Amino acid sequence: MTMVEYNRQPCPIRIVEDCGCTFMMGCIGGSILQYVRGFRNAPAGIMRGLYGGLDSVKLKTPAIAGSFAIWGATFSAVDCSMVYYRQREDSWNSIVSGAATGGILAARNGLKAMGNGAIVGGLVLAMIEGAGVAVATIYAAQPNGSDEESKPQRPQWEVVDNVTNPNSNENALAELESLLEKCNAYKQIKSIPMPRERRARYRLRENTMNKVESKANNQPTTPSLLELVKQANIFNT
C-alpha cells in the first residue's frame, strides 16, 4: 500500500487555494458548531430548536468562515514570502508563517496580544509539522513487503545440462521401433486387395492432397515419413 503524495500549488496560486480551503473548513465546522449551540439555546420544543439552530448558523457562520479565510490567506502570503527569501521549502517556513500570522491578526489588540498570538501560532504549527515528520518516519521504517509482492518478478531460468543422457537415446530408439511396427502393420493392411473403384478414388484423393500442399508451400513435394520408412525397408531387404 503506497501513500499518495500531495503536491501544493505554486506560490501565487497557493494563496487563493489556501484561502478557499480554509473558508470551506470554517463553513463546515462553524455550521455544525453553531447549529448545535443554537439548538441547545432555543426555547423548549423540537421545531423551535431546529429553527433556532438554523438562525444561529445564518448569523454566526459567515463570520467564522471569513476569519478562517483571512487566517489562511495571511499564512500563505507569509509562507510564499519565506520561500522567496530563503529559496527553500521546509518545516521552518510553516512555523515562522504560523507565528507571523498569529501576531498579525492580533495586532489591533496591542503588543502583548501580538506576542501571545505569535507564540500560540508558532507552537501550533510546530506541533503539526512535528506530527507530520513523525508519521513520515514511522511509515518509512515499515518494510514494504506489499510493494515487493506487487512488482512483477523476473523469471528464474533453469540451467540446462548439455551432457546427453543415455536414457534419452534408448527412448528415441524405442519410439523409432514402435513407428516401424506401425508402418509395417499399415503396409500389411494396405496390401489387402481393394476394389478397383475404391483404389482409384484413394489415389485421386492422395494426388490432390499432395498438389494442394505443394502449392501452399511453393515447394516440390517431399517424401513423407512413411515413404522414407518404406525405402529403408527396401534397402534392408
Express as a percent the part of the chain with pLDDT over 70: 65
Give the global pTM: 0.51
Pick the residue with more confidence: 36 or 149? 36
Pick the residue with more confidence: 230 or 27? 27
CA angle (150 as vertex; 148, 156 as ends), nearest 5: 70
Q: What is the mean pLDDT of residues 55-79?
A: 87
Spatial contact of 183 and 226, defined as CB atoms under 8 Å apart: yes
Express as a percent the part of the chain with pLDDT over 90: 0
User: What are the pLDDT digits (tens) for 122-145?
Assistant: 898 888 888 888 888 888 777 655
- Measured CA to CA, the distance from residue 31 to residue 23 in angstroms comes to 12
Answer whether residue 197 shows pLDDT above 70.
no
